[in-house]
Amino acid sequence: MVGLVLEGLGARYGKRVVLSGVDTGLLSGGGMTAVIGPNAAGKSTLFKRIAGLISGPGVVHLCDTAEGKDTICYMPQDTGANAVLTVYESVLLASKQGSGWKVQDSELHEIDRILAALKIDDLAFRSLGELSGGQRQLVSIAQALVRKPEILLMDELTSALDLFRQVEVLGFMKDLAARSNMAVMIALHDLNHALRYCDNTIVIANGTMIASGPTSDVITQELLRDVYRVDARIENCSQGRPVIIVDGSLT
């Protein structure tokens, strides 16, 4: 089964250690893993380290991934709003890296399919600069999907999306991960989304891993108090799903 295991993973910018001690069990394909933590905790750094964009100690073990492919794909927060490119071109660009100038019909059909699946085909020939933050985020997802990764790292996936789009996109990603046996890691701020959509959760705070494991085991009242400094309860809703109810912040 496709998946990855992080062992003693850390990251450095120059000599400065910015992340350390990230160990996980098998984060397997077909499931989603949430990476949570306060602002500037090191979530993006973890993704960059896994994608090999920055160096540091530790190892990323890949399981059963195909060789010579875009195995790991990192989708950063940065969305390039200034580029004078259409949505269609920006997705094509993602799929054509490292290949020739000629664009095959099959490549264009794949872009059509992905834009339609994300319901942004009506934006295909709009310039990136004309899009809202949420629309650009959907384009980023399309850019990631067109590269057909086996492990997908999505930074702040839903931060600019409205509630309807958040639920739609997370549902879509969970469905896609299950159908395509892709391992998806998502940095999230909304912990209720983590509880609802993610099988595993990694908690990062101050550049260190605090916890890792099945989401329902990791996100606890104690974690919310210690890491997020909020007074909160986790209760089951009428549909039997756990939800977080925040009562206030701790001073």
Partner 1 sequence: MVPVADRISGAEGHGRYRALVLRRLVLIGGLCVALFLSVAVDMALGPANYALSDVFRALFQPAAVSDQLRVIIWDIRMPIALMAVTVGASLSVAGAQMQTILANPLASPFTLGISAAAGFGAALALVGGIAVFPVATQFMVPVNAFLMAMLAALFIHFASTMRGVTVETIVLLGIALVFTFNALLALLQYLASEQALAAVVFWTMGSLTKATWPKVCITTAVLAVALPLFARRAWALTALRLGEDKAASFGINVRRLRLETMMMVSLLAAIPVSFVGTIGFVGLVGPHIARMLVGEDQRFFLPASVICGALLLSATSVVSKTLIPGAVLPIGIITALVGVPFFFALIFTHRRRSW
Q: Does 231 bind partner 1 (CB under 8 A)?
A: no
Alpha carbon distance 24, 8 (integer Å): 9
Q: Does 85 bind partner 1 (CB under 8 A)?
A: yes
Contact 202, 209 (CB under 8 A): yes
What is the x/- site pattern for partner 1, positions 148-167, by CB under 8 A? Answer: xxx-----------------
Q: Does 88 bind partner 1 (CB under 8 A)?
A: yes
Kindly tell me which residue out of 96, 165, 189, 196 binds partner 1, with binding defined by CB under 8 A: 96
* SS3 of residue 19 by DSSP: strand
- Per-residue b or e along 132-167, where b marks 16 or more CB atoms closer than 10 Å to that residue's CB: eebbbbbbbbbbbbbbbbbbbbbbbbbebbeeebbe
Q: Does 90 bind partner 1 (CB under 8 A)?
A: yes
Kindly tell me which residue out of 11, 28, 70, 184 binds partner 1, with binding defined by CB under 8 A: 70
* SS3 of residue 20 by DSSP: strand
Alpha carbon distance 199, 209 (integer Å): 18
User: Cα 26 to the chain's mean position, in Å?
Assistant: 17
Alpha carbon distance 8, 6 (integer Å): 7
Residues in the interface with partner 1 (CB under 8 A) total 59
Q: Does 99 bind partner 1 (CB under 8 A)?
A: yes
The nearest distance, CB 85 to partner 1, in angstroms, is: 5
> Tokens 């940095």 correspond to what residue?
187
Q: Does 187 bind partner 1 (CB under 8 A)?
A: no
Rank residues 122 and 162 by Cβ distance to partner 1 and give the closer one: 122
Which chain residues interact with partner 1 by CB under 8 A? 51, 53, 70, 73-80, 82-86, 88-90, 92-94, 96-99, 101, 103, 105, 108-117, 119, 121-122, 124-125, 127, 129-130, 140, 143, 145, 147-150, 176, 179-182
